[in-house]
Chain A
Amino acid sequence: MKSPLIERGSFSIERTYDAPPKDVFAAWSQVEAKARWFVGPENWTLVKRELDFRIGGHELLHGRLASGRDAIYTARFHDIVPDERIVYVYDMHYQMRDDKTHLSVSIATAEFEPIKNQTRLIFTEQVAFLDGTNGTEGTSSREHGTGAHLERLRNHIRPVGNG
């Protein structure tokens, strides 16, 4: 089976932070601040980070995973309204030595909504996964299955120790 299939999907995440929109926005617009939270999983190491935060500007996050594989995030900002919203398109690539795989292309929006002294962050992503059938060997079931478990768990997790 060589023909690649594109898998599409979308999701939204809402979080409320105990900080005004300008502070939450700054955590996205300033590279030092973004480096505090926009990082890879445990045992991930940074290879290169760049952030040119303006419309048309480019972002890069290149890291090495515990497995020895590189994960490369590249983004381009399409719309920015300070303290209100950020619209960008990003690609994810995996790379193992010279073998580079294009995992996905996404359009993402982050909206910052003031609620008293807090901020509701609404993050929405529409994603096309390109690596469903012809990708890096071994990335399919075990690694990408994580999410299925997470969703399954949300549906039926019960208190531990009693039924």
Chain B
Amino acid sequence: MFHALADASRRGMVDRLSEGPASVSELARPLAMALPSVVKHLAVLEAGGIVLSVKAGRVRTYRIAPDALSTVESWVAQRKAKWNSHFDRLEQYLSDQTRKPAAGDDEDKS
């Protein structure tokens, strides 16, 4: 079974788009992923009715599909999606930790 939102990179893209429209290259920039893979992920999201795209010249811009509801379900679901995003990152962090148990705190450039 293929769940569009079972994938952490797609959740990340939706999270990003919830802040405003973005082009494919803007969406790809923070990801360690080739453009064609990003395009493929976006196609899955578009097929699911989650995002829409518009092509202007050579640039395709994606946005969250506008027929959104403002019911309590959508607010709660969005909050839940945020936490799922956090917990994806927590999983990544924990697996990084177990891979290098000897390391203390490594460099943090924030």
Contact = CB atoms under 8 A, between A and B. Distances in A.
- Is chain A's binding surface mostly helix, strand, loop or mixed? mixed
Contacts of A39: 86, 89
B55 to A, nearest CB: 20
Interface size, B (range): 35 or more
A141 B73 contact: no
A147 B20 contact: no
Given A18-B98, A33-B93, A143-B64, A149 B48 contact: yes
A41 B79 contact: no
B110 A129 contact: no
Contacts of B44: 160
Contact of B74 (A10, A36, A144): A144
Contacts of A18: 94-95, 98
Interface string A4-33: 000111110101011100011001000011
Nearest to A146: B18
Contacts, number: 185
User: Which applies to chain B's interface (DSSP): helix, strand, loop or mixed?
Assistant: helix
Given A66-B19, A147-B81, A160-B44, A38 B49 contact: no
A107 interface: no
A46 interface: yes
A9 B93 contact: no
A94 B18 CA distance: 14
B48 A153 contact: yes
Contacts of B70: 132, 140-141, 144-145
A152 interface: yes
Nearest to B101: A23
Interface in A127-161: 127, 129, 132, 140-154, 157-160
Interface string A27-70: 10000110111110111101000000000000000000111000
10 smallest CB-CB distances across A and B, nearest first, come from: A145-B68, A147-B77, A147-B78, A9-B76, A148-B74, A37-B89, A41-B15, A37-B90, A7-B72, A149-B50
